[in-house]
Structure 1
Amino acid sequence: MAAEPSTKTRAWSIFDRIVAEAAPGGEHSNPWRASADGRPHYEPDFAVLEKLLGVPLHLDANTQSGVPALSLDVWLSYELRRAGFDPDATWPRPTHPRILPGPVAKLLQDLPADLRRQVSDRLTRKAAIPGVTSASANILGKNYLKQVDVIMTDWATGPELLISTKRMDSSYGKNAANRVEESYGDAKNLRLRHPLAALGFVFGLRSDILQSEPDTAEWLIDLLGKLGEEEDAYHATCLVMIEYGDDAFGDSAQPGGDAAGAGPPAAAGEAFIDTPPSAAEESMDASPSSDGEALLDEPPPLPGIDRPGDEDATGSMAEASVSTAMLPRVRVQHESIPQELSPARFLRLMVNRVLDTTPVSMHREARRRRREALAASQPGTSHSARAHPGDLGVARGEAGR
């Protein structure tokens, strides 16, 4: 008798459907829009984020399952693909295996059809192939390996973007200080070894903290802002204020979605307490030391450390039938997020930094998408006259915004 799929496996099945529905045939919408000041403005797809945030509630997934924070990871990777970056280079990928080194993906494309099917079948049917595929990525910082939740990297460039995510839905006073302290240490560790990589931090916080612990909320939001101002830490930080529960919406409509009466109210679900796993869980989830040593002996700074048990390769047929329209309803509470911590600003700065620290011959699709918005704000100018000058100047002009 086959074992029941894990909560994370069930979650991936729904996550994948949400993302696939948002990008039919792999075609993603362009997030860039022209703004009044002539600069491209990044518009995140909050409708997709709110669906993804409903998955942990649907599954009643606790923090140890990794699903609550994973919903943020999936969305950020989806947004990077919307920005025009290579789908195989933005991890976690939208299909299993979630982490696949770029050279392996390119090799697959170049193989004869029959051999490509055989290799692809082996890659997708196995949970992970140590050193090749994985469900999560570790990157070596200055002093230690750090699991990074959302990443773009390649042998030729090294890490180009590193985003860490945290999620906290209860016990705020008990856990907030620990989460911030960990984030400071992680930022220093990664930034010192990878100074050119776009380094970001995204914090998911349940909105009831504003009523239950307003002083803790004020303190935490202030510290998140300061995390993005340190010259040797994160380039940008982001707050996602998550509203859910029986009385979450009242008569208001969801941003970018339907009116409040269009779907079922969100169940409160189990509170997601962002606490470290127990020693036993860490032991089960840790990577074998031999794998880590092998990774450090390789010339490129690629991750690829297998974390057994993170994800089943087979997926969940039961969850494949779940309608994404019937997921518990969640809203991103924009009015409670300071401008300097907004997801739109965060994604704009992350994407611009990647483009500003690489030659114009790289990430051409991402540059083209951004230029389209710039061109729309400059009517009457020929495409050839505005293509590269605008591309070169946009990110530099926004570095401190």
Structure 2
Amino acid sequence: MANPVVEKTLAFAEFDTTLMSAAKDSPWLSNGAVTEEFNPSYSVLERLLSIPVRNKAVTRSGRFAQGVDAWLAHELRRAGFDADLVWPRPEAPRVLSSDILDLLRRLPERLADEVHESIMAGKAGSTDARILGRAYMKQTDVVMTHWSTGPELLLSTKAMTSSFGKNLANRYEEAYGDAANLRARYPLAAVGFFFVQRATILESEPAAFRRTVDMIRKLRDFGDGFGYTATGLLLVDWDDDSDNPEVRCVHPPVPQDIATAQFLNAMVDTVLKVTPIDLHEAARARRAGEVAPLPGHEWVDEQQDALF
């Protein structure tokens, strides 16, 4: 029987080349013009999801969903958040304290290499981010955190490529319970839910698609502190008969109020709204339309100065 930890490690490794070559441009600049709307790099997501589809591993070991996780983390880094704070990281181990990374950069080269080897051997870090909620530990798909702030962003993702109507009610119950669990402990964090479905639902189960849209809207916080900060829905599809299928995003059927762009805008804006102005400076600059470089590795020191 395959080891699930090894499977997940290998799955993320499949995405590394695509992520390393992907542009890190500001999502609020389009053809040189400043936009209020987040411009997701859908082409990167399409390339990532095409990998498990071509390997016929859409459902096995969650590799398809892990592609979604890797992409959303990439989008948060594009938004200007520090790469060391966003999990899953773009390289192994996917979950690792930024303080350890900062220490590695300060150590003499030989010692740093030895420590790095120990980390890669499993002495530190993880493939999963497990976050304590009010009632239970939750494996959270995309996280931004540091010990001095606690979790600032917690994002749950789900992918559904078949049996839509059969499984939708279970996803709804799970999602609502997870929102209550996480928001009760972290009321100021941006807590989001992002759902990816295969576009075949539009023809095979149109009633299930209508219920999906309704579910995504109802999972949001209506102002009572329950539900998610933001929710989003994305449809994707591919040709099963192709020898080399390519995933494509399908946009028009998804209402704008639950589309990907508004979801990412809301998640970023929530983080910036509840943190001091001298934290996440690169993200604030990019959000304002400036051509700001991504934060360097001195971020941790700057953050602690701002807080203390």
TM-score tier, shorter chain, comes to 0.7 to 0.9
8 Å contact 2:216–2:232 — kept in the other structure? Answer: yes
- The residue that corresponds to 2:155 in the other structure is 163
How far is the alpha carbon of 1:201 from its aligned partner?
A: 0.3
- The whole-number CA distance in structure 2 between the counterparts of 1:177 and 1:114 is 54
Q: TM-score, normalised by structure 2?
A: 0.87
In structure 2, C-alpha distance between the alignment counterparts of 1:84 and 1:118, rounded to whole Å: 31
Contact 2:12 2:67 in 1 (8 A): no
User: Which residue identity lines up with residue 11 of structure 2 in the other structure?
Assistant: A
Kindly indicate whether the alpha-carbon contact (under 8 Å) linking 2:145 and 2:153 is maintained by their aligned counterparts in 1.
yes
Q: Aligned residue for 1:50? A: 46
- Equivalences for 1:5-44 in 2 at 5 Å? 7-23=7-23, 28-33=24-29, 40-44=36-40
1:349/1:160 CA distance change after superposition, 3 Å: same
- The amino acid of 1:201's aligned partner reads F
Alignment-mate amino acid for residue 11 of structure 1: A
Q: Which runs of 5+ in 2 are unaligned?
A: 293-308
| Structure 1 position 59, deviation (Å) | 1.8
Which residue of 207, 215, 225 corresponds with 2:207? 215
CA, structure 1 residues 374+52, in 2 after alignment: closer, same or farther (shift >3 Å)?
A: closer
Give the superposition deviation at 1:228. 2.1
Q: Do structure 1's residue 78 and structure 2's residue 70 form an aligned pair?
A: no
Q: Retained in 1: the 8 A contact 2:26–2:291?
A: no
**2:288 aligned counterpart, secondary structure:** helix
Contact kept in structure 2, 1:32 and 1:369, CA below 8 Å = yes
Q: Which aligned pairs between 1:2-401 and structure 2 lie closer than 5 A?
A: 7-23=7-23, 28-33=24-29, 40-124=36-120, 126=121, 128-129=122-123, 132-231=124-223, 232-246=226-240, 265=242, 328-373=245-290
SS at match of 1:238: strand
Could you give the per-residue CA deviations for residues 338-386 of structure 1, whole angstroms, max 9, x where no partner exists?
11111111111111111111111111111122223599xxxxxxxxxxx
Match of 2:303 in 1: none
Contact 1:355-1:367 at 8 Å conserved across structures: yes
> Do the aligned partners of residues 367 and 83 (structure 1) sit closer, same or farther apart at CA in structure 2, a change above 3 Å counting?
same
Q: Distance in 1 between matches of 2:278 and 2:58?
A: 44
- Alignment check: 8 A CA contact 2:12 2:70 kept: no
Task: Read off the aligned partner of 2:43 and give its amino acid letter.
Answer: A
| Structure 1: runs of 5 or more not aligned | 248-264, 268-326, 376-401
**Residues 158-184 of structure 1 deviation map (CA, whole Å, 9 limit, x = unaligned):** 000000001111111211100011000
**Number of equivalenced pairs:** 285
Distance 1:43 1:229 in 2: 24
Deviation for aligned residue 1:328? 2.6
Amino acid at match of 2:266: L
User: SS where residue 42 of structure 1 aligns?
Assistant: coil
Structure 1 pair 157–9 and aligned structure 2 pair: CA distance change class (3 A): closer
Distance 1:221 1:56 in 2: 26
C-alpha spacing 1:329/1:34, structure 2 compared with 1 (3 Å): closer
Larger Rg: 1
- Distance in 2 (CA, whole Å) between partners of 1:150 and 1:207 is 24
TM-score by length of 1: 0.67
RMSD: 2.2
Residue 383 of structure 1: aligned partner: none
Distance in 2 of aligned mates of 1:34 and 1:218:
32
| Aligned partner of residue 139 in structure 1, secondary structure | strand
Q: Determine which structure has greater relative contact order: mean sequence separation of CA pairs < 8 Å that are 6+ residues apart, divided by chain length.
A: 1
